[in-house]
Amino acid sequence: MKIFLNGQPVEAACDKKLLAFLRDDMRLTSVKDGCSEGACGTCMVIVDGKAVKACTRKLSQLEGKDIITVEGLSEREKAVYVECFAEAGAVQCGFCIPGMVISAKALIDANPNPTRQEVKKAIQPNICRCTGYVKIEEAILNAARYLRENLPIPARQAAASLSHPFKRVDAGDKIMGKGIFADDLVFEGMIYAKALRSKYPRAMVNKIDISQAERHPDCVRILTAKDVPNNKIGHIVLDWDVMIPEGHETRYIGDAIALAGSRRKESLDEILSLIEVDYTELKPVTCPTDALKADAPLIHSKGNIMSKEYLKRGDADEAIRNSKYVVTKKYYTPFNDHAFMEPECAVALPVGADGLQLYTGGQSVYDEQREVSTMLGIPKENIRVTSMLVGGGFGGKEDMSVQHHAALMAWHTKLPVKVKFSRQESINCHTKRHAMEMEFTTACDEEGRLTAMKALLIADTGAYASLGGPVLQRACTHAAGPYNFQNIDILGMAVYTNNVVAGAYRGFGVTQSCFAMESNINLLAEKVGISPWEIRYKNAIRPGQVLPNGQIADPNCAMAETLEAVKEIYEAHPRAGIACGFKNSGKGVGLKDIGRCTLEVLNGKVRIRTSAACMGQGIATVCTQIVYETLGLDPALIIHETPDTVRTPDSGTSTASRQTVVTGEATRRASVKLKEALEGKTLEDLEGQEYYDEYFAETDPMGSPKEFPVSHVSYSYATQVVLLDEDGKVEKVVAAYDVGTPVNPRSVEGQIEGGVIMGLGFALTESFPIEGGYPKGKLGTLGIMRAPDAPPIEVLFTDVDREKLPYAYGAKGVGELCLIPTSPAAAHAYYRLDGKFRHSLPLKDTYYKRRNTI
Ligand code: FES
Ligand code: FES
């Protein structure tokens, strides 16, 4: 077969999918494999002038056709798309971006002056999980203008000051598809590995027969639990089996039974089909209510309650008895998939007799190193973990998924091994947002002053602990919202079931409890006879007041200002819904929470070394701007290195909206040291010198006897307003934020826009159906919002007095708060539209559900 690829004739010896040909044979890294099933658009190419998904065509259908990938754009086009996407802040994780550029080119070639609606339509096949599409649309409109009007490309930015929209340091490579993700790596002699997953959510594994599979000509090795030195791993609790041994029960459909290594990835499924497993199927436990019954089977030997939280301050019962108005309601929020665009992938290489080099795309190289070393029973130092680009995470790449299996196979075979999840494996195996059942009682006095709340939260944590304990804890610690009252009584339980594992997911439990609390507040406002805005403003926490968890609000707290920013728009619109939220930056509650940074002067440049993972949120750019702010060096002289356990100091996991604060402050401190050293000297004088510092975000533990414990070093605050048109379509979202100093306002806006769309998806369109322990969704049916449904989003920032914030030049985290208030704000908007009070997600009987097209 012959095609023309980027203007050159190329021949293929055998028929295969165009995507496989471009990636595996032509080694084109701009064409991404986000699903291989036609749902995501990351593989978009141009075929004879039309944008086409490369995973949906075989070479035999393309004989003689002209195929263009991002690599084949003209130099002018490349320069324009890099400029416009970077300038707009349209790039986060970058995994979707080359596909977006292709859809843009196909549109602009045919229509040099498109409208925004035409742009939305053109990128409808392309999912972006990070950006919320707003900035991508702006980038495409701008690219069309540059090309149409033949505008010159501006000179590169010579300043990277704080609060300045400096272009992301990784934008160019991501836009052009040159940035390397783990699946782009190929090594000589590399084999492929894949796990056989359990046939049943709960079953006894009686016997595993691998003999036939071992005889397959492509099979290199089959491993089972017998081959794992330490079979239990886990992010916090060591309860997760690397593989289920004979004589043990499976706990969910994603449990690995055996691991096959093959010379050819195309043979993996065939080899796995030859493994014979004798199961005794058992009735799965599919909801916490059943799991809590006295006669429920034990999913783990210690019992089905994975963790419990009880928070009490004041006397909620007494305060409720004495309150004028009381509301009690039950709420339900479902499982939800992160649906990051890059499916999980890791490559492991043997090093010496007992060592490994692991290339991954997770949320912490040091966590990966720790868990793999636990599994293999070898010193951590024997395992070097290097992060490649991370194509989105949102909490879903904190646990081991592929890394440990790649490491295990490489350790046994002494060969390079790649493990890559198909999109369906990713959906079935990785952690989800916890489904929660909640009962909230909220009370206020006759003027609408909150007096007390009681809550019961039951979280379905699925088969393994993952981060379920801290997620439940945050759901509880934030359940009372960003308000000034003191009587709380909150009980939470995370319960094991045979459902998919639930773990960290952007919002970390607060997304769920905020939905319940904010919805109750609207009902209280109704009883009092004041507006939902007013009840919030009356109670909003202000500097010096005490949060329900006992922490005194910082002098910089601007919760009330976020409400002031939206007052007019909310009160003027008859179908506006409002909700507030707050979220901690940093792990807090007495945990060890340290950011570390080394600055090295090398070849006349300053190299920033931290292990803070960038899953798209832009920590590399944050650190670059902090170094610039301190030193005032030309940004071209500041290089940010990729996380690597040998080169970069441990800055912990990218979780809990912590990296901007914790690693940002460590970077600031290290840069102050370098600044001192630079006095009277040049970078050349300091060649080879290193400047290290760290920041320990010290907090008080849960249950601290202190009257006013510091649970977290800082909180960000927000109010969101969702506006509906008369048909119930979201016409706009206004999001007002106190994030301290927005280090890069365009990046922070991008985080908020992406979070709002993710939040609207959670509220309106997404679902993760699971029946009897079997997930039923595919990427194309999860209901992820696409560009045509993404409304305009207006982001507002409150003023900040940097002096009042003692770290990272006054910056606070935003990664999670961006979607926390969205679902209650949407629910409230529909309540105002049709008077129906909705207490579960996704919201029923809305424009989106009636339309039934998502
Ligand atoms: S990889 Fe082709 S559409 Fe997802
Ligand atoms: S930037 Fe679009 S998926 Fe991450």
Q: Distance (Å, rounded) from C-alpha 89 to C-alpha 373? A: 38
Question: Which helix or strand (DSSP H or E) is residue 359 part of?
Answer: strand 355-360
Which residue's alpha carbon is nearest to atom 4 within ligand 2? 93
Q: Is 92 near ligand 2, meaning CB less than 6 Å away? A: yes
Q: Which ligand is nearest to the CA of 341?
A: 2
Tell which residue, 572, 254, 591, has the closest CA to residue 427.
Answer: 254
Number of neighbouring beta carbons within 10 Å of residue 48: 12
Q: Are strands 8-11 and 2-5 parallel, antiparallel or unpaired?
A: antiparallel
Inform me whether the pLDDT recorded for 854 exceeds 50: no
374 contacts 228 by C-beta, under 8 angstroms: no
For ligand 1, mutation pick of 53, 58, 126, 781 (most atoms within 8 Å of CB)? 53
Residue the block writes with tokens 């990664």: 815
Measured in Å, residue 423 CA sits from the centre of ligand 1 at 10
Q: Is 340 near ligand 2, meaning CB less than 6 Å away? A: no
User: How confident is the model over 244-287, as pLDDT tens digits?
Assistant: 999 999 999 999 999 999 999 999 999 999 999 999 999 999 99
Q: Which ligand is nearest to the CA of 39?
A: 1
Measured in Å, residue 620 CA sits from the centre of ligand 1 at 28
pLDDT computed for residue 802 by the predictor: 72
Handedness of CA 207, 211, 212, 214 (dihedral sign): positive
**Confidence class for position 850, pLDDT limits 50, 70, 90:** low
Measured in Å, residue 616 CA sits from the centre of ligand 2 at 7
For ligand 2, mutation pick of 44, 341, 397, 786 (most atoms within 8 Å of CB)? 341
User: How confident is the model over 174-218, as pLDDT tens digits?
Assistant: 999 999 999 999 999 999 999 999 999 999 999 999 999 999 999
User: How confident is the model over 71-126, as pLDDT tens digits?
Assistant: 999 999 999 999 999 999 999 999 999 999 999 999 999 999 999 999 999 999 99
Residue the block writes with tokens 């130092």: 381
Strands annotated E in 630-775: 638-640, 690-696, 714-724, 730-738, 770-771, 774-775
Measured in Å, residue 842 CA sits from the centre of ligand 2 at 23
CA-130 nearest atom, ligand 2: 4
**pLDDT (average), residues 580-602:** 93
Measured in Å, residue 308 CA sits from the centre of ligand 2 at 36
Q: Which residues line ligand 1 (CB under 6 A)?
A: 33-36, 38-43, 53, 55
What average pLDDT does the structure give for the chain? 96
480 contacts 517 by C-beta, under 8 angstroms: yes
CA-53 nearest atom, ligand 1: 2
CA-779 nearest atom, ligand 1: 4
- What percent of the chain has a predicted confidence (pLDDT) above 70? 99
**Confidence class for position 1, pLDDT limits 50, 70, 90:** confident
**Confidence class for position 502, pLDDT limits 50, 70, 90:** very high
**pLDDT (average), residues 715-729:** 97
Inform me whether the pLDDT recorded for 851 exceeds 70: no
Q: Is 72 near ligand 2, meaning CB less than 6 Å away? A: no
Tokens describing residue 68: 């263009």
User: How confident is the model over 826-842, as pLDDT tens digits?
Assistant: 999 999 999 999 999 99
DSSP classification of residue 21: I
Measured in Å, residue 636 CA sits from the centre of ligand 1 at 35
pLDDT computed for residue 531 by the predictor: 97
Query: Quick check: pTM over 0.85?
Result: yes
Query: Cα dist. 834→533, 762, 844 in Å?
Result: 19, 20, 12
For ligand 1, mutation pick of 42, 45, 124, 779 (most atoms within 8 Å of CB)? 42
241 contacts 279 by C-beta, under 8 angstroms: no
For ligand 1, mutation pick of 23, 31, 35 (most atoms within 8 Å of CB)? 35
Which residue's alpha carbon is nearest to atom 3 within ligand 1? 38
Tell which residue, 309, 304, 406, 278, has the closest CA to residue 350.
Answer: 406
The residues near 825 (Cβ < 8 Å, ≥ 6 apart) are 518, 577, 578, 579, 720, 721, 722, 733
User: How confident is the model over 6-44, as pLDDT tens digits?
Assistant: 999 999 989 999 999 999 999 999 999 999 999 999 999
CA-92 nearest atom, ligand 2: 1
What residue type is assigned to position 682 of the chain?
A: T
pLDDT computed for residue 256 by the predictor: 98
pLDDT computed for residue 150 by the predictor: 98
Q: Is 93 near ligand 2, meaning CB less than 6 Å away? A: yes
Which residue's alpha carbon is nearest to atom 3 within ligand 2? 128
Q: Distance (Å, rounded) from C-alpha 461 to C-alpha 501? A: 6
| Start-to-end C-alpha separation, the chain | 37
- Residue 74 φ/ψ, nearest 5 degrees: -70, 160
pLDDT computed for residue 653 by the predictor: 84
Inform me whether the pLDDT recorded for 656 exceeds 90: no
Inform me whether the pLDDT recorded for 853 exceeds 60: no
Measured in Å, residue 359 CA sits from the centre of ligand 2 at 21
> For residues 473-496, b (16+ Cβ closer than 10 Å) or e, as one string?
bbbbbbbbbbbbbbbbbbbbbbbb
Q: Which ligand is nearest to the CA of 618?
A: 2
Q: DSSP of 686-724, one letter per residue? A: GTT-EEEEEEE---PPTT--SSS----SEEEEEEEEEEE
SS3 313: strand
Tell which residue, 413, 349, 341, has the closest CA to residue 386.
Answer: 349
Q: Is 242 near ligand 2, meaning CB less than 6 Å away? A: no
SS3 208: strand
pLDDT computed for residue 617 by the predictor: 86
For ligand 2, mutation pick of 97, 173, 397 (most atoms within 8 Å of CB)? 97
Q: Establish whether the linkage from the previous residue to 532 is cis, with ω within 30° of 0.
A: no
Measured in Å, residue 67 CA sits from the centre of ligand 1 at 16
Tokens describing residue 327: 């509301």
Q: Which ligand is nearest to the CA of 127?
A: 2
SS3 488: strand
Give the bridge partners for 714, in sequence order.
585
